[in-house]
Structure 1
């Protein structure tokens, strides 16, 4: 089923890259006691992490234009499901299918998924090579934002990078 939209909450929408619908879904899900698994940037890499509060899902905001590391998450998702927890997994279609295959049909009533549109994500090495041109070492980054907004509009072609001191 195909759905699209944007968050009604102006703050969520204005601080998100693509309308904030994923953030709105994630926030609603944790309010019902569920666990969200999505991608975030941390310690110089894009990887999947878990969140159980509205504050924790903040780290998932924004577009990610490189492949993310799903290492260990499928096993952890299955453990949460076996323990009787509801899990929302947000990822690319291939990642969603991998989660579904790994956990099996037994957990269909507890596993919720959101497939994001995939435009063909490049390897993180491409980002590393790009940043190296500017003498920026990816592992030293504290934050990277693609499609950052200024006055509620996307500023095409700009990325804001904050480097740790």
Structure 2
């Protein structure tokens, strides 16, 4: 069973994808199987703002609708036009009706590495353990995927970056 989701049907928070069937043409709507919901993970950007990771693609908050019931999130890749809609609790509503395909591949490893580095920075700021030891411990505990491990710098390089950031109070 497929349901057609149309952008105009989300002007209030009381509506959900289960209640919005549309018999209109699918010219500006995205057809989504009713049982498929994307996997959404919350994280923080480098500037400390909330980001959503949806099936390996990063989204940053763009704006609300007029009634402040729907949040619009844009893809973090500036060349990509995909917009993601959630309710105020960041639960999935729909993808954009104009651009539904990303113009790039997902990069889930980048977000794993980002979270790992953020954890290392927090520990380096609060603990008296050497930065290299923190980096080694966190890399062991992170259970990163093979792709994330391949993109990750060595512990010495990461340790030096954390030391530099810590010494300049950029944490």
**Aligning the two structures, in what range does the TM-score lie when normalised by the shorter sequence?**
under 0.3
Q: TM-score, normalised by structure 2?
A: 0.25
Q: TM-score, normalised by structure 1?
A: 0.26
Larger RCO: Structure 1 or Structure 2 (Cα < 8 Å, ≥ 6 residues apart)?
1
